[in-house]
Structure 1
Amino acid sequence: MIRTTLAASLLLTVSAGALSAQDVYETEQANFRVETVAEDLNMPWSIGFLPDGAMIVTERDGGSQGLRIIDADGHLRAEPVTGMPEDVVVNRQGGLFDAIPHPDFVENRLVYISYAQGTREAHRTALIRARLSDDLTALEDAEELFAVNYDIATNRHHGGKILFDRDGYLWLSLGDGGNHYDEAQNPENHIGTLIRLNDDGSVPSDNPFADGDGGAPEVWSYGHRNIQGLVQHPETGTIWSHEHGPRGGDEVNIHRESGLNYGWPEITYGIEYDGSIITEDREREGMEQPIWYWTPSIANSGAAFYTGDAFPHWQNDLFVGALAGMHVARLETDGDRVIGQERLLEDLEERIRDVRTGPDGYIYITTDSDEGRVLRLVPAE
């Protein structure tokens, strides 16, 4: 049975308005403090860690100037990285999305970037890769690896999350384009799908539609509304994703097999924002069920499994940012099951856009505003 009840809320020792290194947050399994790493960022959308501890941060509304570097010492460089594409479309939910280093970054210096590409009247989610210069100031030899084969004029539901799995495959999440949600049931286009590529953008031979028969070769699964979290379970190796529902029905899904249909908009646990019914069906033969869902919606965003040593009781828990919910959800897992939930940082009263486990074992988050911050959770001594 899917559990939607909430565990006890986070308790604070002092008010969040006076956040400092002395404020201790007490939770079910760990106590921590919140430290500010960087601030005054323009809608920071994602964090990617380089091997030396430096961070690549994307600013969603930064356009071609939105790729930023935070040095290993925590210093935010004033100048953005140059060499970004000039065709980044900034329009509400559209803009610059993920920036992730290649697993062999030390040898090849490759960075993979997703963004809304084109014009406001015709745009799509695209994926490029480029070499990041030794001094971290410029992208070089940029090349497009993938672009959605269906243009939209709406300003929402782009997906954009990138994942390298432990086998070296490259995953990219895509949304339904807002007004185009019926296309999520058509695997012959990329709308509302999860795609899987080799690191050079070519199609793996074992993709479900690799030969183009019945679906686009890049598609791994379909029937998704807007995947905003994409991670691999550190123990089971299963790919997990979570996506925005409409009004209710945000979902966590797992991807054990290829070619599966996750149901949107034929089945959903939500309704339209105006209260009208999308479908009466919550399940249907041949369509996958989520392993967890939120009703009401929390507007789930970036996510990470915790794999560090700083918080041993949180090992293998999934941490999910919430935009409308303004918190971080800690989902306790047992293998490929969610067995409980705890809400963290509710009293911070900020929209949380991304969550990552840092190489130092701390948890890093970004806040979603035009004066956004990068924060980290560190153990309270």
Structure 2
Amino acid sequence: MKKIAPLLFLCFFISCNSQVKQNDVALKDEVQNYTFKTIASGISIPWGMTWLPDGSMLITEKSGVLYHSKNGIKTEIKNVPEVYNRGQGGLLDIATHPQYVKNGWIYISYSSAEEGGKGGNTKLIRAKLQNESLIQIESIYKCSPNTTAGQHFGSRIVFDNEGYLYFSVGERGEEFVNPQDINRDNGKIYRLHDDGRIPKDNPFVGKKGAKEAIYTYGNRNPQGLAKHPVTGEIWEHEHGPKGGDEINVLKKAANYGWPVVTYGIDYDNTTISKVQEKPGIENPIYYWTPSIAPCGMTFVTSDKYPDWKGHLLVGSLKFQYLELLKLQGKKVIGRQKIAADIGRLRNVAQGPDGYIYMAVEGKGIIKIIPN
């Protein structure tokens, strides 16, 4: 019995530890009850996508091209700002204002060489579209300082139910400097008014030296943001190192731990942190080990996919499939592989027509049509 007792204790600990339990959810193979239709082809690295009221799409291509796709025809939008196209940087996410019909604002994030020295960093702008050209371009936020590092620019954009704008920025490879320091940009989720003003109730407003746009910190490289269709909460996922990709629900002033705590190790197999939990640091609601390299996420609300409705879709760059995460509240209770071997997924979104669209490297935008 003395030899068995430690094992029993370990089993009890694992059963009570929600983080370990979450990670143990098995990935099921796909059930092929759908077909694919390419909506926009010939896009090397499609990154962001959004829809206009007429059903046409705006699609960003990482190299710096913005496409307007309608009825299978792509048109290049003119007057797009020059991007700092290096490594993971380029033309990134795009979103329309919740009141786009009234105001016409389009929001775009990209890596920019403007302001702040050599190299580049993530910038957010807004603009309007007229005659297939961007006009009235306004700067909303620019992270600084610039750096020639090629990694971890983020970046996603989402609006909440109150009209606040959130956008994510990676820590630019400076993991032991930026994420935990609220006086520095990068490794953060920012919250702003739609015109770039800083909300007075942001958590670090009035703190000396703080970047007052910060809403959360301790983030590594967040490439997924989505609004929960019922609660209105903003969900986020981010790349871990070798293991430890996370899904988090954003909380005001929350520290998500990177690199103080992590479920992963460094790419050379060395230890980054010896702890996975720590007081004052928010635990993820789910994490992947091994990493799937998540990119893009969307909640399914459409009746077109009855088995997926109410659950979460996340793209995998590493394993080249779409993952369906079955949810029970904020708990992941099931995982299913969708679109196996489709390619490196950069984004997934539910369109206004209720269909799911995937942005896949080398292929373009692909629509999932249920049988």
Q: TM-score, normalised by structure 2?
A: 0.91
Corresponding residue for residue 209 of structure 1: 204
Given residue 374 of structure 1, which amino acid in structure 2 is its aligned partner? I
- Farther off after superposition, 151-160 or 339-348: 339-348
SS in 2 for 1:314: coil
Q: Provide the C-alpha distance between the structure 1 equivalents of 2:298 and 2:28, rounded to a whole number of angstroms.
A: 21
Do the aligned residues in 2 keep the contact of 1:129 with 1:144 (CA within 8 Å)?
A: yes
In the TM superposition, 1:221-232 aligns within 5 A as 221-232=216-227
Task: For 2:121 and 2:73, locate their aligned partners in 1 and report how far apart those are by CA, in whole Å.
Answer: 30
Residue pair 2:160, 2:233 contacting (<8 A) in 1 also: no
Counterpart-to-counterpart distance in 2, 1:145 and 1:212:
21
How far apart are the structure 1 equivalents of 2:134 and 2:185? 27
Secondary structure in structure 1 of the residue aligned to 2:124: strand
* 2:216 partner amino acid: S
Q: Is the CA contact (8 Å cut-off) linking 2:84 and 2:119 kept in structure 1?
A: no
Could you give the per-residue CA deviations for residues 67-105 of structure 1, whole angstroms, max 9, x where no partner exists?
Answer: 00111x2x232x41011113x111121100011111111
Q: CA deviation at 1:347?
A: 3.4
**Is it true that 1:10 corresponds to 2:9 in the alignment?**
no
1:1-381 equivalences under 5 Å are 1-2=18-19, 3-4=22-23, 5-11=25-31, 25=32, 31-61=33-63, 63=64, 66-71=65-70, 73=71, 75-77=72-74, 79-86=75-82, 88-118=83-113, 121-133=118-130, 135=131, 137-213=132-208, 215-255=210-250, 257-348=251-342, 350-368=343-361, 371-380=362-371
What is the RMSD of the two structures over their aligned residues, measured on CA atoms?
A: 1.5
Unmatched 5+ stretches in structure 1: 12-24, 26-30
Change (3 A) 1:214 1:208: farther
> 1:344 and 1:69 mapped to 2: Cα distance?
27
Identical residues among aligned pairs (%):
39
SS at match of 1:346: coil
- Amino acid in structure 2 at the alignment position of 1:228: Q
Partner of 1:14: none
Q: Deviations over 1:180-238 (max 9, x none)?
A: 44321101112100000000000111110122447311000100000010011111111
The structural deviation recorded for 1:54 is 0.6
For residues 100 and 241 of structure 1, do their structure 2 counterparts lie closer, same or farther at Cα, with a shift above 3 Å needed? Answer: same
Equivalent residues of 1:115, 1:125 under 8 A apart: yes
The amino acid across from 1:351 in the alignment is: R
Counterparts of 2:357 and 2:73, CA distance in 1: 15
Q: Aligned partner of 2:119: which letter?
A: A
Amino acid at match of 1:272: D
Q: Is the 8 A contact 1:150 1:191 kept in 2?
A: no
Aligned residue identity for 1:42: S
Shift of 1:365: 0.3
Distance (Å, rounded) in 2 between the aligned partners of 1:260 and 1:318: 22
Q: Which amino acid aligns with 1:373?
A: G
Deviations 1:125-168 (A, max 9, x none): 000001111x4x01101011100133222001001100011211
Question: For structure 2, which runs of at least 5 residues remain unmatched after alignment?
Answer: 1-17
> Contact 1:235–1:316 at 8 Å: present in 2 too?
no
Partners in 2 of 1:210 and 1:54 — Cα distance? 39
> Letter of the aligned partner of 2:370 in structure 1?
P
- The equivalent of 1:28 in structure 2 is none
TM-score of the pair, normalised by structure 1: 0.89
